[in-house]
Amino acid sequence: MTPEQRKEFHEKGYIYIPGALSKSVVLPVRDHVFKELKRLNIWSTGRTLSQKMKGVPVFQQTGKLGQLIGYRGLNDRLISQELYSAMCLLADAPLHGQNGQLLISLPHQIAWTLEGLNWHRDISKSQMKGIPGIQAFILLDNVAVKGGATLALAGSHRLQNQVQAKQGISELISDGVNNSVKVGDVELLVLEMAGHAGDVYLMDMRVLHTPSVNSTKNIRIMATARYFAE
Ligand SMILES: O=C(O)CCC(=O)C(=O)O
């Protein structure tokens, strides 16, 4: 962890570590997901098979697929000692992890948009004072831009209140082209967690984030794990 990475984390609320995990670590998990999708008759050879999944609203799909498909010992497999140490350094505290989750989305067959998304935090208001924890997002397969990667609102961990957050998001939506906006003295920027298999994003849990539309023909396969300060 370099001083630059720590500075960037404090400013933006995240760091991106391309190639943090080797392909031999992540691809077996991806292949397990493909096998399960085929076994459950949901997806095979580039096609959605399941009628029942087609009826599920876009942003409920990932939750539903996450209930159907698991991977035992996901954190043990994906959170290396090096990643864990990096997270503790960033949080400046020992951390304890919750069970990881798979984040899977089928092609949504709609145009990519910033409108109507579900921006949220996975912590309560009372946890907003210091860094409450770090959430790791791991790419288990290549994820293209507009391919359903998690979006984060970089800088939003520094916003004073919910009104500012809402203002920033609505300005970003109405702007349409530019993915950055200034609210008070905080620069907000939409981060799309796209990249290659093995890349990892580490995010301050105060950062607003949302599922996004997968407008490609490929399935999006990521994993996430939340680590909380004790
Ligand atoms: O990428 C996604 O599906 C959303 C992930 C998310 O919101 C979360 O893990 O808290």
Q: Please give the Cα distance from 227 to 204 (Å, whole number).
A: 10
- Residue 146: which pLDDT band, with cuts at 50, 70 and 90? very high
Q: What is the pLDDT of residue 177?
A: 62
Q: What is the pLDDT of residue 53?
A: 80
* Ligand 1 pocket at CB < 6 A: 62, 103, 122, 150, 209, 211, 224
Enumerate the domain spans of the chain.
3-229
Handedness of CA 209, 210, 215, 216 (dihedral sign): positive
What does the pLDDT look like over 43-73, one tens digit per residue?
888 887 777 787 788 889 999 999 999 999 9
What does the pLDDT look like over 30-47, one tens digit per residue?
999 999 999 999 988 888
Compute and round to an integer the Cα radius of gyration of the chain.
17
Q: Which of 10-19, 67-76, 161-170 has the lowest mean pLDDT?
A: 161-170
230 pLDDT above the threshold of 80: no
Query: Which CATH homologous superfamily contains domain 3-229?
Result: q2cbj1_9rhob like domain (2.60.120.620)
CA dist 168 → 115, 123, 145, 156 (Å):
13, 20, 22, 9
- Residue 82: which pLDDT band, with cuts at 50, 70 and 90? very high
CA 172 to ligand 1 centroid distance, Å:
20
Region for residue 210 given its phi and psi (left: phi exceeds 0; alpha: psi -120 to 50; beta: otherwise): beta
At position 172, the amino acid (one-letter code) is L
The minimum-distance atom of ligand 1 relative to the CA of 210 is 7
CA 47 to ligand 1 centroid distance, Å:
23
CA 146 to ligand 1 centroid distance, Å:
15
Q: Which of 101, 192, 224, 226 to mutate to test the pocket of ligand 1 (most atoms within 8 A of CB)?
A: 224
Strand boundaries in the chain, DSSP class E: 14-17, 43-44, 47-48, 95-97, 101-105, 133-139, 151-154, 180-183, 186-192, 200-204, 209-210, 220-229
Residue 152 φ/ψ, nearest 5 degrees? -125, 150
Q: What is the pLDDT of residue 108?
A: 87
Q: Please give the Cα distance from 201 to 44 (Å, whole number).
A: 28
Q: What is the pLDDT of residue 129?
A: 87
